[in-house]
Structure 1
Amino acid sequence: MRWLLAMILSLIAAFPAVARDVVAGAPGDVSLTIYRDPYRDSGAMQLNDLGGFAVVSETRRVTLPAGRHRLRFVGVVDGIIPASAVMSGLPAGVVERNQDAALLSPSSLMRAARGKSIMLTRTDPATGKAMRLPAEIVSASEDGVVFHTKDGDEALRCSGYPETFRYGRDAEGLFAQPTLSVMVDVSRAMTVKVTLTYLAQGFDWNASYTARLNPAGTAFDLGGWITLANGNSVSLNNAQVQIVAGRLSRAMVDRIVDNAPAAIARCWPMEKTSDIPEKPDRPYVLVQPYLERPYRRWRQPDNDKGGIIVTAQRRTQMMQDTPTAVSAYSSEAIQEQLGDLKMYRIPRLTSVAAMQMKQTRLLERAGVSYERYYTARIYINPNKQPWFDQTVAMLRTRNDKKHSLGLPLPAGILLIDQFQFGRPMVLAEPELGDTAVDEKIELAIGAVSDVTVQSRCIDDKDRKYVMETTITNAGATEIQFELEIENGLDLKITNSTIAVIERDGKRLMLITIPAGGAVIAGYTGHYQYD
């Protein structure tokens, strides 16, 4: 029999017992790379509906006993895509991995306690004293909580007297923070440093710029900011942050969320307003109904397309309710190449808090030279009646070293202002698209009334007609004007009083209009269609 006992002991030694769950240490060396929502241009971001994503990388110290264990990474971003998680540093392979999405909350704790004992504290209606008695939660939903005592089934807080309860044991299977768990199998006890990398949804970023014109009207100082948005419940502290510009092709992935109905510990809807008279100091409060989707706190009106601008007032109540942090240092982001995409690295460690938008410096350039010009476009309808757009003031520069730029500029809103009466006055807020180095930048300031355009047909025969356009400048300074002749009717210009050039797919007349003067531009058009 001794040999049989020895064999059993040797088998037990060969297969060590499974230890309890192992929790990895706190995250360190956090890296966050945020990719912009490919379906959003430069409009406003909403924390409750961010369409971008991020790559999160972090290191954690793990102490593992020998055997098979469930290793838990507590505090991962709740928008994690579990299938994307990659771990390095473990000597053995991962057997399985799970996202534990049942987070600790009053509702989840109450649902987890169904069928279990609680200690109910209530008021004895006969004596008015508090009494404690054991009870069991029968059901918990948005309609209320029902419990069972020795006297039968009752609804919680429907007696009209103070009533509360406490749990008799800790909740099982609930986590105070989002958790990723993996099953690992190791042959010996060890302490290792594990690097965890994963994709997470609920992130986005945006760029915003300010351009302040100098009094001479020849240059502006350009400032750029990056707005980082984290719509998750987990903060990423002291992280190395990068953003990636460009539209990355990516398949849509459903985010795993806990959509379980809320459990409300109140007597509702059994009470009626007639049962509790309204008093001046106690108005009626309507109960928020349960929604299939989580309640959106930051809601944006459909007709609002505002964004966060550093020097401008936030323009919507949604943005006023959104927490926004501004980085205290002014170091510029460092531009790097990521394949065919552009990546900007924030030079210092920064924290991106949960449910927060944070702004940090992108660039700062002084003395960006530009030229100001005015433009209008002439249309010719089939009846040879001229139509024309209202005259628009434009700023033009080029993204190169000569104009004090020369770096890729991600798309964003550009606020243009100028000092007037000792304070900055907003002139325009055009959109700036993704702009490569050496690319031309043209910004619309807005319609003007000092420069007017009048056009008429003075001759019309066969397939030819003669147009005459008068441009008047009522301003006190000379201006440069670009008259665009639309190409919509297979029209060939056979004669003109001012040279017609082709540029960027447009037919233009470049005209100098003196202060308080006018210029007449004429041309002859010939139809090319049969």
Structure 2
Amino acid sequence: MRRFVLGLMLAALPSLAPMPVGAQAIVISPRPDKVAVTVYRDPNGSSAMELGWLGGFALVTETRRVTLPAGEVDLRFEGVAGGLIPQSAVVSGLGDGVTEKNRDAKLLSPGTLIDAYLGQRVHLRRTSKATGKVTEQEAIVRASGSGIVVQTESGIEALRCTGLNETLLAPRVPADLSARPTLSVRARSAQPVEADVTLTYLTSNFDWRAHYVATLAPDGKTLALFAWLTLANGDDTGFVNADTMAVAGRLNREQVERMQPEVRSIAISCWPSRRTHQTGIPPPPAPEFKRDRDEAIVITGSRMTMAESPSPVTAVSAAQENLGDLKLYRIPIPVTVAAHSQKQVALLKQPSAKIVSKYRWDTRFANQTDGPRPAQRLLKLDNRKAAGLGLPLPAGSFTLYTMRDGQPFLLGEGAMTDRAIGEMVDVVLADTPGVEIEQRQLEAVGNVRETILIATNDQSIAAPLEVRFGDDAKPLKTKSGSVKRRDGTWVWEVVVPANSSRELTVRHAND
């Protein structure tokens, strides 16, 4: 009889034993022949993606060639995504033969294997540390969980509590345990079937982001814009040579609870017993079945991240298409979306996009600073073809460089929101110490209060500045710039000369 050592069972899987007469036939599809993955973003995601906590999802379509016997059969699709949402799964290609589908939550692990053999016979092998003598006998598994209890000819005892090296050997891996996430369906056919079956499902723990890398021209009026599309797969399953797409936009989608696969280690605790005392040898420490051993059965992939560069030499570029109100970015060649990894492909490249660079300060009338504070640098881009853009821009992070003596220097980092063709794009970068704002409250006169803003520029060039007020206090008393109402907000627009300053007084009447 072919046996499997429990401690080493993850090294290989046995073929299934012949089916008893009248038993349910089982057909296993080990992997897809072709797969397509469409990744949808987390609508609330804006920061860097964490592989263990991805809020997007993916639509996976797998094509598998299967051969089914006549009658009723359980067809097992192994290697599906671990985050598969069972109620979303659709199987086509078998006509009306599919009568039931199940997401098999139990994966092959020491704990689940022992559970499968509760009440059944296994082989018990013991090795004496003192003499090296090996004894073998049959045993019945009576309990598992916090420990393993077996029954032998001598009685009932706890495994690994005799002071001897003990190993359980199972005759085979049960048919309902798989080393990989599995979806099974029950199908019925009057005659044998050989067909291409398509399995489509939604799965959680995927996401994607756009990352814009811009290089400012020497005159400061244009920039070279390049963008990466970064795909993230936090699942235990990877997809090799997949037709891959990413979708931008917001979808109405109900939250569903993800089914976690059951992978369980074995914790063994012993208590003094007569047989342990007889051996005169203290029991060995309980073996540790660590999580990394469980994960050894998972198809994994290395992180595949291309270096960020304002001007990459070669890159696979995603092609943009319309998908109703959404935007779809199709990667033109098959790519591997590996497990627990990120992959980057080129999203767009615009060599000369016009920009207006200015500085911004957001405040309220009651605000007061304890000294000068740096303003934020603001880039304004006109998303029209005439301005060097004119294409849908998905939300993502933004990094701005400038070139000096042939070397790139970082100017700042910010973020972009989704912008359609024809819209203005505002990119707010980090605080810039070259332009600073100081705001001080003045002494009230009667029911009138005033605050003064002082903008300074210690750079060698003039700095356009806009100050936005978040309340109804009207800015007054400025000898430079202009004050206007924009989108319900008072805005002071002024150009602060090089190595100079400008002031604005804001007045507010008490209620």
TM-score interval w.r.t. the shorter chain? 0.7 to 0.9
Verify: 1:22 aligned to 2:5, yes or no: no
Look up the equivalent residue of 2:187 and give its one-letter code.
Answer: V
Which residue of 471, 479, 487 corresponds with 1:497? Answer: 479
Unaligned stretches of 5+ in structure 1?
A: 1-16, 278-283, 298-320
Select which of 73, 76, 86 maps to 2:90: 86
Is residue 429 of structure 1 aligned with residue 408 of structure 2? no
Correspondence for 1:375 among 349, 360, 370: 360
Q: Could you tell me how far 1:418 is from its partner in structure 2?
A: 3.2
Letter paired with 1:186: S
Contact kept? 2:383, 2:425, Cα under 8 Å: yes
Q: 2:135 aligns with which of 125, 131, 135?
A: 131
On the 8 A contact 2:305/2:343 being kept in 1, the answer is yes
The amino acid across from 1:44 in the alignment is A
Q: The residue matched to 2:67 in structure 1 has which SS?
A: strand
Which residue does the alignment assign to 2:305? 326
Which residues of 2 match residues 263-282 of structure 1 at below 5 A? 263-264=266-267, 266-267=268-269
Matched letter for residue 359 of structure 1: Q
Query: 2:129 touches 2:165 (CA, 8 Å); kept in 1?
Result: no
Q: Is the CA contact 2:113–2:173 (under 8 Å) kept in the aligned structure 1?
A: no
Query: Helix, strand or coil for the counterpart of 2:316?
Result: coil
Contact 1:497 1:522 in 2 (8 A): no
Aligned to 2:194: 191
2:401 to 402, 408, 417: 417
Q: Counterparts of 1:296 and 1:67 in 2: how far apart (Å)?
A: 36
- 8 Å CA contact retained: 1:122, 1:162: yes
Q: 1:41–1:411: 8 Å Cα contact kept in structure 2?
A: no
Q: How far apart are the structure 1 equivalents of 2:48 and 2:247?
A: 18
Question: Alignment partner for residue 108 of structure 1, among 109, 112, 123?
Answer: 112
What SS class does the counterpart of residue 111 from structure 2 fall into? helix
Q: Is this contact kept in 1: 2:450–2:508, CA < 8 A?
A: no
The one of 352, 367, 387 equivalent to 2:337 is 352
Matched ranges for 1:3-402 at <5 A: 20-24=25-29, 26-38=31-43, 40-124=44-128, 127-141=131-145, 143-259=146-262, 261-264=264-267, 266-267=268-269, 323-326=302-305, 330-377=315-362, 379-381=364-366, 390-402=374-386
Identity score, percent: 36
Q: What's the offset of the Cα at 1:115?
A: 2.1
* Corresponding residue of 2:277: none
1:380-427 superposed Cα distances (whole Å, 9 cap, x missing partner):
339x99999643332222222233222222222222233457644433
Alpha carbons 2:372, 2:436 under 8 Å: kept: no
Asked if the contact 1:209–1:412 (Cα under 8 Å) also holds between the matched residues in 2, the reply is yes
- How far 1:287 moved relative to its partner? 6.5
Inter-partner Cα distance in structure 2 for 1:215 and 1:360: 28
Local SS of the residue matching 1:326? coil
Report how far residue 240 of structure 1 moved.
0.9
CA distance in 2, matches of 1:124, 1:285: 17
Q: Secondary structure at the match of 2:422?
A: coil
Question: What corresponds to 2:387 in structure 1?
Answer: 403
Residues 210, 396 of structure 2: 8 Å contact kept: yes
Contact conserved, 1:204 with 1:229, CA < 8 A, in 2?
yes
**Alpha carbons of 1:80 and 1:526: their partners in 2 closer, same or farther (altered >3 Å)?**
closer
Give the TM-score, by structure 2 length: 0.79
How far has the Cα of 1:325 moved from its partner? Answer: 0.9
TM-score in terms of structure 1 length? 0.77
Report the counterpart of residue 311 of structure 2 in structure 1. Answer: none
State the secondary structure of the residue aligned to 1:252: coil
Alpha-carbon distance in structure 1 between the residues aligned to 2:105 and 2:178: 8
Write out per-residue CA displacement over residues 232-282 of structure 1, whole angstroms, 9 at most, x where no aligned residue: 222211111111112212111112223475324x556889xxx999xxxxx
Separation in 1, partners of 2:154, 2:32? 51
Distance, in Å, in 2 between the alignment partners of 1:494 and 1:231 is 54
Amino acid across the alignment from 1:514: P
RMSD: 3.8
User: How far apart in 2 are the matches of 1:378 and 1:115?
Assistant: 72
**Larger CA deviation: 509-518 vs 326-335:** 326-335
Q: Is the 8 A contact 1:399 1:437 kept in 2?
A: yes
Aligned to 1:510: 493
What residue identity is the alignment partner of 2:388?
S
- In structure 2, C-alpha distance between the alignment counterparts of 1:48 and 1:295, rounded to whole Å: 18
Q: Which residue of 2 aligns with 1:480?
A: 464
Match of 2:15 in 1: none
Q: How many corresponding residue pairs?
A: 471
- Matched position secondary structure for 1:46: coil
Once the two structures are TM-superposed, the CA of residue 71 in structure 1 deviates from its matched residue by 2.4
**Mind listing any 5+ residue stretches in structure 2 that lack a counterpart?**
1-21, 274-279, 308-313
How far apart in 2 are the matches of 1:385 and 1:59?
Answer: 63
State the Cα distance separating 1:350 from its structure 2 match: 0.9
